[in-house]
Amino acid sequence: MAYPRALKNLMRELNRLPGVGRKGAERLALHLVRSGERDVRALAQALLKVTEEVLTCSVCQTLADRDPCAICADPQRDQHKLCVLESPADLAAMEAAGVYRGLYFVLAGPLAPMQGLGPDQLKLQGLVRRIKSGPVQEVIIATNPTTQGEATADLLVRELQGSGVRLTRLGYGMPVGGDLKYMDGLTLARSLEGRRKL
Amino acid sequence: MAYPRALKNLMRELNRLPGVGRKGAERLALHLVRSGERDVRALAQALLKVTEEVLTCSVCQTLADRDPCAICADPQRDQHKLCVLESPADLAAMEAAGVYRGLYFVLAGPLAPMQGLGPDQLKLQGLVRRIKSGPVQEVIIATNPTTQGEATADLLVRELQGSGVRLTRLGYGMPVGGDLKYMDGLTLARSLEGRRKL
């Protein structure tokens, strides 16, 4: 390839990102070179800042500026509710919705034994300890409605049963704005199961 | 959004890249945080290296490690042939094919007056000067077979006519491995025009 060494190296690094193929990496790298030194430096700086400033909250395990994170440190949040999620991205979506005022616990991911994420890697001890020691009365299991998320929810139920807290699971069914005729059968089945009396 | 400031900033920077939407930037940033400090630093370093090391060859205008670039400085290349391209990526594709041993001239892009790339911005003076002063005998116009590329080729023909060099254009037609029944009408028309005697 007739590219300068540094540019080829950048393409290689970009190519390692998920969803960025060889051609995509080439396009991004050339865009960056064209966009000028200031933009490239801004991106590099943003990357370095992340390695310096982002840490994991020791209480809820989400990504944070400080430890404990702003949510865990907020006395206004409902200390009795604990929402268990698969990832910081799920937490961000929940917070963006602005419908939940309790606390969180972020797992290392959903159970994925093939990717080396077995029950031991999910660090459930921290969750169990927290529930036993604190004022938590309800654990809302908010893993995703996928095979992995369901297996994770089952594991959580097994681990937390008998700990004296109320275990709940996010409701399943048609998303708001959804259209029955385009809904898959499993979602419809869950919608029926979760039907409510009017 | 419940993300640390540095992470939000990285998402914003990634979101500025072409083809990377808000959700895509979020996914990339979270992937980078998960992948660990070493990987993030490697990408940041690759970006900084590009701003430090990549320059523009003053002879052919491509991106290079040094000036003149390795191709322009290579006495083994055919000094009589000059291939005019739209971008360093096109040059890389040509070199990867390994079918051309002449020299290059890379335009600032195809003509795109709406994006501020008019005839003046293509820096054709450098090309004209080079052709007049050097041993170039043939200019191969290798702009892309698009509306913009065609307009650029027309401009090049107007500028270079009368300079005494032979002007040629890359051949048009079906790509090798192509399938007639999936080919668009324009390509077929050009294939017919460019038919060769057997």
Identify the weakest region by mean pLDDT among A56-70, A113-127, B49-63, B133-147.
A113-127
Given this model, what pLDDT does residue A170 score?
86
What is the C-alpha separation between A98 and A90, in angstroms, rounded? Answer: 13
Could you say which residues from 145 to 164 on chain A have a Cβ atom under 8 Å away from some Cβ of chain B? none
DSSP string across B37-69: HHHHHHHHHHHHHHHHH-EE-TTT--EESSSS-
Residue that wins the pLDDT comparison between A113 and B6: B6
Residues of chain A contacting residue B19, judged by C-beta atoms under 8 Å apart: 24, 27-28
Minimum CA–CA partner of B69 in chain A: A4
Residue that wins the pLDDT comparison between A111 and B181: A111
For residue B5, give how far its alpha carbon lies from the nearest alpha carbon of chain A (Å).
7
User: Which of A133, A132, A69, A129 is CA-nearest to residue A104?
Assistant: A69
Given this model, what pLDDT does residue B183 score?
83
Given this model, what pLDDT does residue B1 score?
53
- Mean pLDDT within A36-40: 91
- Is the pLDDT at B57 greater than 70, yes or no? yes
- Is the pLDDT at A119 greater than 90, yes or no? no
B53 touches chain A (CB under 8 A): yes
CB-based contacts of A183, cutoff 8 Å, min separation 6: A174, A191
- Is the pLDDT at B104 greater than 90, yes or no? yes
Given this model, what pLDDT does residue B79 score?
95
- pLDDT bucket at A162, cuts 50 / 70 / 90: confident
B62 touches chain A (CB under 8 A): yes
What is the C-alpha separation between A108 and A64, in angstroms, rounded? Answer: 15
For residue B39, give how far its alpha carbon lies from the nearest alpha carbon of chain A (Å).
9
For B42, the closest of A4, A7, A13 (CB atoms) is: A13
Given this model, what pLDDT does residue A1 score?
53
Residue that wins the pLDDT comparison between B196 and A96: A96
- pLDDT bucket at B193, cuts 50 / 70 / 90: confident
Residues of chain B contacting residue A10, judged by C-beta atoms under 8 Å apart: 46-47, 49-50
What is the C-alpha separation between B115 and B7, in angstroms, rounded? Answer: 32
- Mean pLDDT within B124-137: 88
Identify the weakest region by mean pLDDT among A152-161, B41-50, B108-117, B188-197.
B188-197
User: Which of A159, A145, A11 is CA-nearest to residue B46?
Assistant: A11
The pLDDT tens digits for A9-28 are 999 999 999 999 999 999 99
- What separation, in Å, do the N-terminal and C-terminal C-alpha atoms of chain A show? 67
What is the C-alpha separation between A6 and A53, in angstroms, rounded? Answer: 27
- pLDDT bucket at B190, cuts 50 / 70 / 90: confident
Residues of chain A contacting residue B99, judged by C-beta atoms under 8 Å apart: none
- Mean pLDDT within B147-152: 91
Given this model, what pLDDT does residue A86 score?
92
What is the C-alpha separation between B122 and B107, in angstroms, rounded? Answer: 6
For residue A32, give how far its alpha carbon lies from the nearest alpha carbon of chain B (Å).
8
| pTM of the model as a whole | 0.80
Q: What is the ipTM of this complex?
A: 0.81
Given this model, what pLDDT does residue B36 score?
87
Contact between B27 and A89 using a beta-carbon 8 Å cutoff = yes
Q: Which of B50, B60, B105 to mutate to test the interface with A (most CBs of A within 10 A)?
A: B50
Minimum CA–CA partner of B40 in chain A: A47
- Do B29 and A92 touch, CB atoms closer than 8 A? no
* DSSP-derived pairing of the beta strands B55-56 and B63-64: antiparallel
**Mean of all residue pLDDT scores within chain A:** 90
What is the C-alpha separation between B42 and A10, in angstroms, rounded? Answer: 9
For A92, the closest of B2, B24, B55 (CB atoms) is: B2
Given this model, what pLDDT does residue A28 score?
96
Inter-chain CB pairs, A–B, below 8 Å = 164
For B65, the closest of A5, A62, A89 (CB atoms) is: A5
- Mean pLDDT within A32-61: 94
Given this model, what pLDDT does residue A97 score?
86
Q: Is B45 exposed, middle or buried (0-12, 13-18, 19+ CB in 10 A)?
A: middle
Given this model, what pLDDT does residue B49 score?
95
What is the C-alpha separation between B71 and B51, in angstroms, rounded? Answer: 21
- pLDDT bucket at A55, cuts 50 / 70 / 90: very high
Residues of chain A contacting residue B117, judged by C-beta atoms under 8 Å apart: none
Helix count (H) and strand count (E) of chain A?
A: 7, 6
For residue A80, give how far its alpha carbon lies from the nearest alpha carbon of chain B (Å).
20
